[in-house]
Amino acid sequence: MAHSPDVDVAALDPDARIAAHTSPRRATLELVVIGLGALVVSLSQSVLVPVLSILPARLDTSASNVSWLLTSTLLVAAVSVPIMGRLGDMYGKRLMLLVAVGALTLGSLVTALTDDIGWLIVGRAVQGASAAAIPLGISLLAALMPRERVGSAIALISAMLGVGGALGLPLAGFVAEHADFHALFWITAAAGLVAFAGILTIVPESPARSGGRVDLVGATLLAAGLVCLMLPLAQSSAWGWDDPRVSVLLVASVVVLAGFGWTQLRIRDPLVDLRALGRKPIVITNLASVLFGFALFASFIGTASFVEAPEASGYGFGSSLLVGGLAMLPSGLAMLLLSPVAARLIERRGAPQTLALGATVVAAGWLLRIVWSGSLWEVVVGATIVGIGTGIGYAAIPSLINAHTPAGEIASANGLNSLFRSFGSSLASAVGGSILAANTVILGSFAVPSLAAYQGLFAICAGASILAAALVLLVPHRRGGAAARA
């Protein structure tokens, strides 16, 4: 029976006894290897984006086929994250973390060893299962870290969501200019193998497991509903919003997910505890996560492509793929360096106020991008401010989730929250792509998005961030946050 989140978890949760006997050196090693796994997983999700344009010719295939290298990863990630989170609560968070990092390594090896588009899609699909590593790592560290280090550890792992993406863009740009694209997958395979070995040999398992049976019906319905929801968002630019497949799949997703919800409220061991998920603080936090996921991904598509646009566009700088990626690097580094600051803000001001602060900083960064982008350094400053706010917000989100979730459902709740963030990123890709494609400037034989299109996207991001700030202030501050779960 799930207990109320008002109960002293430290007194009930056997995970707390692990943290109490963890030495500082051991805790640091555990954080390093779990953090490496999270970093590589985040890296793998973005590293292919800058080289997609060169792959049709390199692989002798169509651009639509190449787009499935991203779509397959997205679909598998959407399905696997909530399911693996639930399995982590049932059978062990470390066990499922090893499965996730193992999937990353295996998928990377498959893609590194082939030029066949079919096998490349298979490898990328296997990599998609690794997306569960970040919420599983957050949940495991909440149990393993000494109480005083829980907040900073969670903030660091959360920051990896942005750091990996920011590092992936310049890395991919460098490889595109100097090496074969397979080198990207050899890098993620090697780093994934190191992380897997470290977790296997250093990190202990969490003894708190809920047990129970796997809800196969719920898992099937959830998988089908999420595929129907995410596929049209991923393929909207290729299909077009007026394609019947988009509307049919979106309607199907509503029907299937409604059926999923109906089953979850009527079985003994549901895949998702919808009653816990329906608590006001969890609902608000997940909505804010959608908005933050939107803002972060929009920064990727609204920065690298912006600076790489020709100067004749009226705003671009004609930069290379490498320079376009490097423009995002300060943003990722800011997320990493400020994660301890975010943890202290959570401790002193509470996770709701910290998340609201992060959202406000993101809004300021986007507003700055609208009025201040005449030179490359101005664009970098604006993107970095967005990164700072996103890093602060991402640090606060899991603290809010952990503080309002029963101890036996932490991994499942963080997995679902990660899914909401992923949905926000997919929505940003679909909406942002449509906005940029609808308002273009003709340059010779090709078209590029206009400055007004980018400014419209930035304004939407600023508005979404302000809405997130207003929402999270409705969540009551509860002292202890994540630490209360350790």
Same domain membership, residue 254 and residue 304: no
Residue given tokens 């969890």 in the structure block: 282
pLDDT tens per residue, range 410-457: 888 888 888 888 888 888 888 888 888 888 888 877 788 999 999 999
User: What is the pLDDT confidence band of residue 5, given thresholds at 50, 70 and 90?
Assistant: very low
Domain boundary residue, one of 242, 270, 298: 270
Whether 311 is in a domain gets the answer yes
Note whether 251 and 312 are same-domain residues.
Answer: no
DSSP secondary structure letter of residue 256: H
The pLDDT score that the predictor gives to residue 480 is 44
Q: What average pLDDT does the segment 383-387 reach?
A: 91
Domain-embedded: residue 4: no
Q: Both 185 and 102 in a single domain?
A: yes
Structural domain boundaries enclosing 456: 9-214+271-485
443 strand-pairing partners = 446
The answer to whether residue 462 is domain-embedded is: yes
Amino acid at 186: W
305 occurs within a structural domain: yes
* The last residue of a domain, from among 244, 270, 296: 270
Read off the pTM: 0.83
Residue 17 has pLDDT above 60, yes or no: no
Non-local (6+) Cβ contacts of 375 within 8 A are none
Q: Are 349 and 243 part of one and the same domain? A: no
- DSSP character for 21? T
Tell me what percent of the chain is helix, strand and coil, each rounded to the nearest 5. 80, 0, 20
pLDDT at 23 over 90: no
In a domain? residue 68: yes
Convert the pLDDT of each residue in 305-336 to its tens digit: 899 889 989 898 998 888 888 888 898 888 88
The predicted structure's pLDDT at residue 12? 36
- Low-confidence winner among 83-87, 176-180, 455-459 (lowest mean pLDDT): 176-180
Share of the chain above pLDDT 90, in %: 36
Q: Are 411 and 135 in contact (CB under 8 A)?
A: yes
* 118 and 29, same domain (yes or no): yes
Judge if 322 and 401 occupy the same domain.
yes
Same domain, 308 and 235: no
116 and 84: one domain?
A: yes
Q: What is the pLDDT of residues 186-208, one digit of tens each?
A: 999 999 999 999 999 999 988 77
Same domain assignment for residues 234 and 97: no
Same domain (yes/no): 39, 139: yes
pLDDT at 237 over 80: no
164, pLDDT greater than 90: no
Does the residue 298 lie in any domain?
yes
Residues, the chain, total? 486
Q: Is residue 3 part of a domain?
A: no
> 322-354 as b/e, with b when 16 or more CB fall inside 10 Å?
bbbbbbbbbbbbbbbebbebbbebbbeebbbbb
Residue ranges of E strands in 326-475: 440-443, 446-449
Higher pLDDT, 368 or 173: 368
On whether residue 479 sits in a domain, the answer given is yes
What integer pLDDT is reported at residue 21 of this predicted model? 52
Domain of 284: which CATH number?
1.20.1250.20
Beta strands in 285-358 (DSSP E): none
- Indicate the residue among 247, 270, 293 that finishes a domain: 270
192 and 245 together in one domain: no
Residue 182's CB: how many other CB atoms inside 10 A? 15
Residues 56 and 194 in one domain: yes
Q: How many domains does the chain have?
A: 2
- pLDDT tens for residues 466-480? 999 999 988 876 554
